[in-house]
Chains A and B, each alone.
Chain A
Amino acid sequence: MDAIKTWLGRSGLASIAILAVLLLVVFPLAMDTFRLNLVGKYLTYGFVAIGLVMLWGYGGVLSLGQGVFFGLGGYAMAMFLKLEASDPESTKIQSTPGIPDFMDWNQLTELPLWWEPFNSFGFTLFAVVAVPVLLAFIISYAMFKRRVGGVYFAIITQAVALILTVLIIGQQGYTGGVNGMTDLKTLMGWDIRTDEAKTLLYFLTAALLLGAILLCRWIQLSKLGTLLLAMRDKEDRVRFSGYDVSMFKVFAFCLAAALSAIGGAMFTLQVGFMSPSFVGIVPSIEMVIFAAVGGRMSLVGAVYGALLVNFGKTYFSETFPDLWLFLMAALFIGVVMAFPNGLAGLYESHVKPWLARRKQAPAPGGTGGEPPSASAAPAAPTVPHTTTSAAVPTAGIGAKVSSQSA
């Protein structure tokens, strides 16, 4: 039993399990479909945030252009749904029935060739991941092989985000322009606008996100994860130990892109449209804020970050729409300056020692021997319970890793 507990704690599975209970049991029980759908939307940003944990927290590479990949994944899915929604029957009032409405408005008379493959759902699923990863590979290979990094790389990703937005808005006939792709209705005949569909899509998103977290955790615990940390610390030492450092960064960038793209596709499905406003510079920076607030070293923390910041955004942008941007900026600066490891770091440095002290003190009537995280979890699910290990500031990582080697 104790062995299982230490194993759970060490691999960060305990905190992932708590998140799973929260997402799969607590939220669905406590919320109506509308709110659940809202959380589902926020969770799609969770994909981007955990991608940033891998890329920025572990790999030390800051990208300010994750909206690009979120958008590409979302648009790929939207193209499929749009084609399905544009059957000749429901578009018979158009001058060219059977093509998406925005094409008709822009005087297109037939479906562009590159849209054709998106009639297939199989191809669409492939494209959701493949197109963003290919773009990520080209950008990162070109940059990292030339040793472009740090601020310069971040600026390049911003430029890509800007270019893509301009392209999407400019090519109205092919992309739906500034309005995006709207009026998405069914997925292979299944109406995605119903309450049942929204609930099901929520569970699908949550399950995929938990799967993605497990995958990332496995990568973190592999030698590749160790190398990413080592590179962040002493890049030259890794290079002169026979590793092609640039390829590891390329991998991290492509991984983050793939995760963002899956998030984007799930966003489209749940929200029912995709538009350039999720692609550009501002949304990309917001995505970094999710990871920073949650803690860039903690996968689970990043998900809580995405949830909290988005809740805050929804609340404040309704109540004080003008103030929200400033608040967001202040939050970001505050967190980065005062808590570089975000909420997860705060939990590690404050909550955990406090829990440990409480545990040490004699607890009359307590069951005793229960791990602090497990006992605290059901009581206060909104407090970010981050992992025992994944959440750690740098010093803790070494300690964790060393205990593994024993």
Chain B
Amino acid sequence: MSNTDFVLAVEDLTVSFDGFKAIDSLNLYVDRGELRVVIGPNGAGKTTLLDLICGKTKASAGSIKFKNQEMTRLPEHMIVRAGIGRKFQTPSIYENLSVFKNLEVSYPRGRGVFGALGFKCDDAVKAKVDEVAGMIGLADRLDLEAGLLSHGQKQWLEIGMLLMQDPELLMLDEPIAGMSARERELTADLLNRICQNRSVIVIEHDMDFVARIAHKVTVMHQGKILAEGSMDKVQSDPKVIDVYLGH
């Protein structure tokens, strides 16, 4: 396909597991600086879509272009280095390391074997850790073992680990699962702040939360896109009400 201005252009993407098409000729375009929310019933293929973009699952067919560069054949770590960060559905942090170490290890320098051997935690790294820790509200928790954080804080820490890498595209799978109402509010603010100079894709079920953050909403169903557009438009779409919002 031709080059586009989109940060992410997914076209005709298909993946089948033993004949079952979890993603079925899907097209998706994300703008620079856009915060896109993907919703849909359980098993719609939302997580699988993120898996495909970040290389965890290999596509059966179709193309994924990030800044006009084909991603489908790159190994996972090269996709990350190209600028795509991904948060997993269950908080995935290094429980035995301190919050500081969790962030420090995510700093995008010294990524090779010998680079890691020679890596020094200099002022630039410390400044970045402090900046990110401030954003995710863990500035006074840096020395704490990450496993001791609350569930919500773990989710923030994982977002922080991604922010350490300054990705141009950030993908978050159900970031507010298990959070209290107050934590959800803080997370919404955080997401609104971090999408100012990057694109973000969020998978979420909580419609109040979606309304607070979404620029545009994509509704998925059975591996396909059912509807796409503003929150209002999507919410009043009869097809969407039928398969997802109605119950």
Instruction: Please report A residues at the B interface, Cβ cutoff 8 Å.
Output: 219, 222-224, 226-227, 229-230, 233-234, 236-245, 247-248, 250-251, 394-395, 397-399, 401-403, 405-406
Complexed CA–CA distance, A226 and B146 (Å): 14
In the assembly, what is the distance between CA of A244 and CA of B99, in Å?
22
A-B contact pairs, 10 of them (CB 8 A): A223-B105, A226-B97, A234-B93, A244-B75, A245-B77, A395-B96, A398-B96, A398-B98, A402-B144, A405-B143
Contact partners of B105 in chain A: CB under 8 A: 223, 226-227, 230, 238, 241
Contact B96 A241 (CB under 8 A): no
Instruction: Determine whether the beta carbon of A237 is less than 8 Å from that of B96.
Output: no
B101 touches A226 (CB 8 A): yes
Cβ–Cβ contact B98 & A402, under 8 A: yes
Q: Quick check: A398 and B116 within 8 Å, CB to CB?
A: no
Nearest opposing residue in chain A for B83, CB measure: A242
Question: What residue of chain A has the Cβ atom nearest to residue B94's Cβ?
Answer: A230
Contact of B98 with A234 in the complex, beta carbons under 8 Å:
no
Q: Which of A222, A237, A399, A401 interacts with B116 by CB under 8 Å?
A: A222
B239 adjacent to chain A (CB < 8 Å): no
Residue B112 is within 8 A (CB to CB) of chain A in the complex: yes
Which A residues are in CB contact (< 8 Å) with B112?
244, 247
Provide the residues of chain B in CB contact with A239, threshold 8 Å: 76-77, 80
Residues B119 and A402 in contact, CB atoms below 8 Å apart: no
Given contacts A227-B116, A240-B76, A242-B80, contact A234 B143 (CB under 8 A): no
Given the known inter-chain contacts A223-B117, A241-B106, A402-B145, please indicate yes or no for A234 contacting B92, CB distance below 8 A: yes
CB <8 Å contact, B117 and A247: no
Interface residues of B in 99-158 (CB under 8 A from A): 99-101, 104-106, 108, 110-113, 116-119, 121, 142-147, 158
| Chain B residues, Cβ within 8 Å of A242 | 77, 80-81, 108, 111, 165
Provide the residues of chain B in CB contact with A227, threshold 8 Å: 105, 116
Chain A min CB distance to B127 (Å): 14
B positions within 8 Å CB-CB of A: 54, 56, 75-77, 80-81, 85-86, 88, 92-101, 104-106, 108, 110-113, 116-119, 121, 142-147, 158, 161, 165
- In the bound complex, do residue B76 and residue A399 qualify as a contact, i.e. CB atoms below 8 Å apart? no
**C-alpha spacing A226/B113, complex, angstroms:** 12
Q: Which of A233, A238, A247 contacts B96 (CB 8 A)?
A: A233
Contact A244/B77 with A226-B105, A236-B88, A405-B104 known, Cβ cut-off 8 Å: yes
Known: A226-B101, A248-B113, A405-B101. A237 touches B77 (CB 8 A): no
A398 touches B76 (CB 8 A): no
**Cα distance A248–B106 in the bound complex, in angstroms:** 15
B75:A401 contact, CB within 8 angstroms: no
Q: Shortest distance in angstroms between B88's beta carbon and chain A's nearest beta carbon?
A: 7
* CB-defined contacts of A403 to chain B, threshold 8 Å: 143
**For residue B116, which residues in chain A have a CB less than 8 angstroms away from its CB?**
222-224, 227, 248
B126 — nearest CB in chain A belongs to which residue?
A: A405
- Would you list the 5 A-B pairs with minimal beta carbon distance, nearest first? A402-B98, A242-B80, A405-B100, A223-B119, A398-B96
Interchain CB contact (< 8 A) of A236 among B75, B92, B101:
B92
- In the bound complex, residues from chain B placing their C-beta under 8 Å from that of A402 are 97-101, 143-145
Residues of B within 8 A of A398 (CB): 95-98, 101, 145-147
In the bound assembly, the distance between CA atoms of A230 and B165 in angstroms comes to 17
Having A240-B88, A241-B161, one finds 10 other A-B pairs with CB under 8 Å, namely A219-B117, A223-B110, A224-B116, A234-B92, A241-B106, A398-B147, A401-B101, A402-B97, A402-B98, A405-B104
Cross-chain contact A401 with B98 (CB below 8 angstroms): yes
A223 CA to B77 CA, complexed, in Å: 17
Distance in Å: Cβ of A231 to nearest Cβ of chain B: 9
**Chain B residues, Cβ within 8 Å of A405:** 98, 100-101, 104, 121, 142-143
Residues in A whose Cβ lies below 8 Å from that of B81: 242
Residue of A224, A237, A251 touching B92 (CB-CB under 8 A):
A237
| Most central of A219, A227, A406 by chain B CB within 10 Å | A227
**C-alpha gap A222/B76 in the complex (Å):** 24
Q: Chain A: which residue is nearest B147 at the CB level? A: A398
Report chain B residues within 8 Å CB of A394.
Answer: 96
Q: Which residues of A contact B76 (CB under 8 A)?
A: 239-240
Report the bound CA distance from A395 to B118 in whole Å.
Answer: 26
Residues of A within 8 A of B54 (CB): 240
User: How far is it, in angstroms, between the C-alpha of A223 and the C-alpha of B94 when the chains are bound?
Assistant: 14
Q: Considering the chains assembled together, what is the distance between the CA atoms of A241 and B164 in angstroms?
A: 10
Q: A237-B92, A397-B96 are in contact. Are A224 and B113 (CB under 8 A)?
A: yes
Cβ of B56 and Cβ of A236 under 8 Å apart?
A: yes
CB-based nearest B residue for A239 = B76
* Interchain nearest-CB distance for B57 vs A (Å): 12
Instruction: Judge whether B111 and A233 touch: CB under 8 Å.
Output: no
A395 to B97, CA, bound (A): 9
For B85, give the chain A residue with the smallest CB separation: A240
**Can you name the residue of chain B whose Cβ is closest to the Cβ of A228?**
B116
Asked whether A241 and B165 contact (CB < 8 A) given A234-B92, A399-B145, the answer is yes
Most buried by B among A238, A242, A395: A242
**CB proximity of A198 to chain B, nearest CB, Å:** 36
Complex contact B80–A241 (CB within 8 A): yes
Q: Are A401 and B97 in contact (CB under 8 A)?
A: yes
